[in-house]
Amino acid sequence: MIVLSGVDLSHFSPAVFQVAFWVVLVIVFIVVEIISLGLTSIWFAVGALAGAIAAGLGAPIWLQCILFIVVSAIALGSTRGLATKYLNNKLEKTNAEGLVGDTVYVIEEIDNKNATGKIRVRDLEWTARAMSDDQIIPKDTKVVVREIRGVKCIVEPVGDTNGITPEISGA
């Protein structure tokens, strides 16, 4: 005889407890999803729902567990890419990423071997380095920002753009 808080539970079938277990899991996964807002556990809530349905239909526990794993994996694999694409579509470039492609002027000679060089981009001074360690870029040379490495702009003279047309930015 199973008694919980004075209630005799022995007349309930094991399937009822199994369904209750899966429903509790669904609720837990949904609560975690609501708290995290990061698409972390909704896939498992779908899998747990499949487990609850299987339990309600009298499937053995091993089949419920396999359904949970398989349905969770299918839900994750088939919808994660779409969900993140549409839910994270408001990502913007950081200030630094937005500099790539800008054309600016060198305000201090760029010499990688001597660790010197500065450019002015949008009224801010940035440490600059040449694409090639052997290249020295004189002051007042027009350059294009090719990439950002840490806090340094990697640049090359506008004439060395390999056919790429840079955006013209305020110097």
**Rg, the chain, Cα only:** 30
In CATH, the number for domain 97-158 is: 2.40.50.140
- Where are the domains positioned within the chain? 3-87, 97-158
Q: What is the pTM of this model?
A: 0.47
β-strand 7-8 against 3-4: which pairing, if any? antiparallel
Structural contact between residues 137 and 169, judged by C-beta atoms closer than 8 angstroms: no
Question: Which run of H or E residues covers position 15?
Answer: helix 14-36
Position 39 scores a pLDDT of 72
Return averaged pLDDT per consecutive 10 residues of the chain, 171 residues in all. Answer: 55 74 93 81 91 92 94 86 63 65 91 91 88 90 89 85 47 43
